A and B are shown apart, each in its own frame.
Chain A
Amino acid sequence: MTRPPGRPAPAGGLARAAAITATVALTVATLTGCGAGKAPARHTVVVLAASSLTESLTAAARDYEKSHPGTDVQLSFASSSTVVTQVNQGAPADLIALAGETAMAPLEKSRIARDGTRTLAANTLEIATPPGNPGKVTTLADLSRPALRVVLCAATVPCGMAAAKALSAAGVVAHVVSYEINVKATLAKVQLGEADAAIVYHSDVVSAGGRVRGVPIPASVNQRLDYPLVRLSEDTATVAFAAYLLSDQGHQRLRDHGFQLP
């Protein structure tokens, strides 16, 4: 892009601008190219899932990627209502997994692939306390004690809705100090020792290992949520990964993390 000395080039500015644009475009292309993967044979499956599936789906996806080197499973976790809002707003996703059938209601049906809905797993509620159980919580009714700090999920997300149903079925008004935006945020408050008790899923208590203690909720008031696995894409890699999740191997991973089978 050198200009002949002493001669004004009328198009010089334009040429330079074009060169700069080209360089920028090239840089952008290179940068985005990195994310897309080098080999053309790689397939990416984008999965948006309920927070409660964080550990189990991550483990299942890593297993799958190991046995299927050509597939890259990208996972993102949020509350089911956030997932549905994102999909309705056009977020690119191939597969979504939600906590409970109710969470699926606002999902735009036109986005679902033909015959794309299956039940992935089932989950129930459980009380989580810090390992030492400082609030000495043994029953659901204990949650109404004013000295206790109870954290629930917000009523807009499935775990919050289910917890509210269980509490009202038991006739308990819990002493709530905070409504968290998803089940993992709720669990975190117990793990950090800031809350004495939280109502989360059984799978969260199992996945947290020794970092929390579970206190069962009786079956008479407990809520069972069936987790729909919804395919939004006809892509073969997506179909294959969905089939894997529903296979014995996939189910084993979910069971390891405290889920029940549908």
Chain B
Amino acid sequence: MRSVRWARTGLFIPAWIGIAVLLVPMVALLLKADWAGMPDQLAKPSVVPALRLSLMTTSSTLVICALLGTPLAWLLARSTHRLTPWLRALVTVPLVLPPVVGGVALLMAYGREGVVGRTLLEVAGWSIPFTPVAVVFAETFVALPFYVLAVEGSMRGLDRRYDGLAATLGASPWRTFRTVVVPMVAPGIASGSALAWARALGEFGATITFAGNFPGRTQTAPLAVYVALESDPQAAIALSLVMLLVSIVILGLLRGRWLR
């Protein structure tokens, strides 16, 4: 019995240290905030445009993730091609890639001198870096894998006989996808969307590298926090708290789904 108690104490101590590692910085943020001045901080000219830009770009990112990611997840879930596992591995690369590296890669692809960007500039006259479009590119690059993996996971758990059944009833693959597969993986789509949106909201490295930092145009909330920290720490804390709050709300929504 004693060894059981020892083992339990031995596990409890590191477990609580682990909790402290995660909790202390977040609590510190709450303690250091100037709560009385919060409305003034959030009304500052650097704060509102950053939050608005973050909201706009992350929503666009989410729409792109849904439009491209849902079919991609379906392809990965259903394809029996021998290259499919490789494709799946490829999709996960941006998950582990440092975001700054993602930003450099995006510059090499869509920059003015980039592989695709040069042609885009010559033919259409479009230049992507330093625009809100570049922010969406950066956010999509880092968020899409989260969406695809979450949706693919729930699609793979789906009984394939439904597909066959729908087909015998005369439904086309497109109709099957739209009216059978998508509604049945709705929970997966919801959690994938939440994860992808949260990742897009937190995006920093790829954005500052590829899109630059201009207030109202490419300066998202995380970039504004970084820049404000050196000139106006209270504004940085206020913005950080808004982002912490948003993260907690998203997590709350997700947990409601998972812990039912």
Contacts and interface: CB of A to CB of B under 8 A. Distances in A.
Interface of A: 8, 10, 12-14, 17, 79, 81-82, 85, 149, 151, 154-157, 176-181, 189, 192-194
B227 interface: yes
B212 A192 contact: no
B229 A85 contact: yes
A91 to B, nearest CB: 14
B212 A177 contact: yes
B208 A181 contact: yes
B224 to A, nearest CB: 11
A17 B2 CA distance: 14
A13 B212 CA distance: 56
B84 to A, nearest CB: 36
B10 interface: yes
17 contacts: A14-B6, A81-B230, A82-B230, A149-B130, A176-B214, A177-B130, A178-B211, A178-B213, A179-B212, A179-B214, A179-B227, A189-B212, A193-B111, A193-B113, A194-B107, A194-B111, A194-B112
Contacts of A179: 212-215, 219, 227
A178 B130 CA distance: 7
Contacts of A81: 230-231
Given A13-B6, A193-B111, A85 B230 contact: yes
Contacts of B208: 181
Given A180-B212, A181-B213, A13 B230 contact: no
Given A8-B3, A179-B213, 6 more contacts: A10-B2, A12-B3, A151-B212, A177-B214, A177-B217, A189-B212
Contact of A194 (B6, B7, B129, B226): B129
Contacts of A154: 213, 227
Interface of B: 2-3, 6-7, 10, 107, 111-113, 129-130, 208, 211-215, 217-219, 226-227, 229-231
Contacts of A181: 208, 213, 226-227
A61 B250 CA distance: 49
A169 B128 CA distance: 32
B113 A192 contact: yes
Contact of B130 (A157, A193, A194): A194
B1 to A, nearest CB: 10
Contacts of B213: 154, 178-181
A82 B228 CA distance: 11
Contacts of A151: 212
A13 B130 contact: no
A162 to B, nearest CB: 15
Residue among B113, B208, B212 facing the most chain A CB atoms (10 A cut-off):
B212
A140 to B, nearest CB: 20
Contact of A13 (B7, B111, B113, B217): B7
Nearest to A130: B113
Contact of A192 (B111, B214, B215): B111
A17 B10 contact: yes
Nearest to A179: B213
A82 B6 CA distance: 46
A150 B84 CA distance: 44
Nearest to A154: B227
B207 to A, nearest CB: 11
A13 B3 contact: yes
Contacts of B7: 13
Contacts of B227: 154, 156, 179, 181
A97 B96 CA distance: 35
B212 A178 contact: yes
Nearest to B13: A17
A13 B112 contact: no
Nearest to B214: A178
Nearest to B108: A192
Contacts of B10: 13, 17
B49 to A, nearest CB: 13
A193 B229 CA distance: 29
Contacts of A193: 111-113
Contacts of A149: 130
Contacts of B212: 151, 177-180, 189
A181 B204 CA distance: 12
B67 to A, nearest CB: 28
